Chain A
Amino acid sequence: MAIDRLTGENSLLFIKSEQMFDWARSRSLWYMAFGIACCAIEGLMHASGPRFDFDRHGVFFRASPRQADVMIVAGTVNHKMAETVKRLYDQMPEPKWVVAMGACASTGGPFREYPNVVLGVDKIVPVDVYIPGCPPRPESVQYAFLTLMDKIKAQTEQRLDARRDAHS
């Protein structure tokens, strides 16, 4: 339709306005306070503490998934926890991202041989950034968030590419 050329998803108006929203979103990524295990102490508690201040990146925790942008899965996910993780992910409103923190959330970690452990949270929810380590240092978690900010900014290039491909 003709109006789509102005306001549809391949229109320059939409892409430029989304670029501005992406800039705002990436500068205030609020994560859900959801610490499963040991990684929660390092990545959520210490990273938000006075030394590795997370607030200077605009990152702060929210207790409810309805108010969060990012879910940091910090800890081992087992079969009992898997249902809860999926449910919390579903309760988060779009746009949302998932950061798999630590070896356990990435691929199962030191407990990978135990049958009750899920080999990585990407079996349950789609993951955007993986952080290796057991536990990763708070600086690693902050670096992961900076990588996530870059990933969000890269969405503008992807939309421009899609626009060029759609029109060609």
Chain B
Amino acid sequence: MPDVTHIADALSRADVVPETLESADGLGAVVRVASVDAAAALRALRESSHAYDYPVDVFGVDTGEGVDIVYHLRSLSHGEEVFVKTAYPYGGELTSVWELFPAALMPEREAAEMFGLTLSGHPNPKHLLLTSGIEPLLLKRVAIRTAGEVRNR
């Protein structure tokens, strides 16, 4: 189980108060911050002693109460990973972190369109995968086709 004190130090230096900070089974270090602190937390982690400067992934999860956007960063120098989770309400506004991690450009577009969020601060906020007029398909409330529908195609 990785030690998370350096993460707590880095965040406190940036005046970011995490909502939770733990070392979880199967993931490693997981820190949840308020959505307004997302960019500050990511910058703090990138400039911390462990230098989490390698972005692995950016994706969303529908938790039932809202949409969680998860930023997965890795420190190649220390071989450790951190998951930064932020919560958004349904239909909320996701602020892009592309200036910090240009790798987030396309994944943020995808997360926004798949979960029904609006994207701001992004140079190209168009839909990535879906044509316009299709519902945000990764939300739990959007159902897939039933067997009857398919049979009567």
Do A and B touch, yes or no (CB under 8 Å, in the complex)? yes
Name B144's contact: one of A79, A80, A115, A123 (CB within 8 Å): A115
Interface size class of A (residues with CB under 8 A): 10 to 19
Name B145's contact: one of A107, A114, A123 (CB within 8 Å): A114
Is B130's CB under 8 angstroms from A112's CB? no
Convert B58-78 into 0s and 1s, putting 1 for each residue whose CB lies closer than 8 angstroms to a CB of A. Answer: 000000000000000000000
Name A113's contact: one of B129, B134, B135, B144 (CB within 8 Å): B144
Name A112's contact: one of B134, B135, B145 (CB within 8 Å): B145
Give the number of residues in B that approach A within 8 Å (Cβ atoms). 12
Answer whether residue A102 sits at the interface, using C-beta atoms and an 8 A cutoff: no
Chain A's interface: helix, strand, loop or mixed, by majority?
loop
Convert B126-153 into 0s and 1s, putting 1 for each residue whose CB lies closer than 8 angstroms to a CB of A. Answer: 0001110011010000101110001001
Q: Which residues of B contact A113 (CB under 8 A)?
A: 144-146, 150
Answer whether residue A120 sits at the interface, using C-beta atoms and an 8 A cutoff: yes
In the complex, A108 Cα to B153 Cα: how many Å?
10
Q: Which residues of B contact A108 (CB under 8 A)?
A: 150, 153
In the complex, A23 Cα to B142 Cα: how many Å?
51
Answer whether residue A147 sits at the interface, using C-beta atoms and an 8 A cutoff: no
Q: Which residues of A contact B144 (CB under 8 A)?
A: 113-115
In the complex, A72 Cα to B131 Cα: how many Å?
24
Q: Which residues of A contact B129 (CB under 8 A)?
A: 80
CB distance from B125 to the nearest CB of A (A): 18
Q: Which residues of B contact A79 (CB under 8 A)?
A: 130-131, 134
In the complex, A120 Cα to B152 Cα: how many Å?
12
Answer whether residue A116 sits at the interface, using C-beta atoms and an 8 A cutoff: yes
Which of A113, A120, A123 is packed against the most chain B CB atoms within 10 Å?
A: A113
In the complex, A123 Cα to B144 Cα: how many Å?
19
Is A80's CB under 8 angstroms from B145's CB? no
Contact A115 B142, CB 8 Å, known A79-B131, A80-B130 = yes
In the complex, A79 Cα to B142 Cα: how many Å?
17
In the complex, A147 Cα to B83 Cα: how many Å?
55
In the complex, A71 Cα to B45 Cα: how many Å?
52
Q: Which residues of B contact A131 (CB under 8 A)?
A: none
Is B134's CB under 8 angstroms from A107's CB? no
CB distance from A69 to the nearest CB of B (A): 28
Within 8 A of B (CB), among A54-80: 79-80
Answer whether residue A148 sits at the interface, using C-beta atoms and an 8 A cutoff: no
- 11 A-B pairs in the complex with CB atoms less than 8 angstroms apart: A79-B131, A80-B130, A107-B153, A108-B153, A114-B144, A115-B135, A115-B142, A115-B144, A115-B145, A116-B130, A119-B153
Q: Spell out B's residues near A (CB within 8 Å).
A: 129-131, 134-135, 137, 142, 144-146, 150, 153
New A-B contacts (4) at CB < 8 Å, excluding given A112-B150, A119-B153: A80-B130, A108-B150, A116-B130, A123-B153
